[in-house]
Amino acid sequence: MTKTRTFATPLDLYRALISVWSSDTASPPNGWSPSNAAMNHCSVTSLIVQDYFGGEILNTKTSGGTHFYNLIDGVRWDLTANQFSEPIPYEDLRSSRDISIGDTSDQKYRLVVERLASNF
């Protein structure tokens, strides 16, 4: 990944991601809408967060399937938690980039990376 900007915190990155997430970057694309921009973006977002801030990728099971998020310096960062209408049962299971990319695609990952580079 080529980073053109450094984000001070994961929240700063979240503010940028909101403007680049879309149905063509969601996995799966059904259910995505501008009013729920984080919907189906957990796997690609966990990869992007790790690119910028390091740490680990974690996952847990939800009623919608496997949910991905990050652990950075001992703090859980879930930039897509607001896609859910119910509490997330965090299990903090260790995951990996391979597992996260397997839940999305290289194409969707590259699209988010390119949009961040172009817009921020």
Which has the higher per-residue pLDDT, 120 or 12? 12
2: pLDDT strictly greater than 70: no
In the block, which residue shows the tokens 């990728």? Answer: 57
4: pLDDT strictly greater than 70: no
In a domain, 104, yes or no: yes
In a domain, 1, yes or no: no
How large is the average pLDDT for residues 24-34? 94
In a domain, 84, yes or no: yes
In a domain, 3, yes or no: no
In a domain, 72, yes or no: yes
In the block, which residue shows the tokens 């974690």? Answer: 58
pLDDT digits (tens, 9 = 90+) for 33-63: 999 999 999 999 999 999 999 999 999 999 8
Q: How far apart are CA 14 and CA 118, in angstroms?
A: 16
How large is the average pLDDT for residues 79-102? 97
What pLDDT score was predicted for residue 90? 98
The mean pLDDT of the chain is 95
Q: What's the sign of the alpha-carbon dihedral 32, 103, 105, 99?
A: positive
| Residue in 21, 31, 47 with CA at minimum distance from that of residue 100 | 47
- Predicted model pTM: 0.94
pLDDT digits (tens, 9 = 90+) for 57-67: 999 999 889 99
Total number of domains in the chain: 1
Share of the chain above pLDDT 70, in %: 96
In a domain, 4, yes or no: no
CB 106 within 8 A of CB 25: no
In a domain, 62, yes or no: yes
What residues make up the domain containing 43?
10-119
The one-letter code for the residue type at 103 is: D
What pLDDT score was predicted for residue 64? 86
In a domain, 53, yes or no: yes
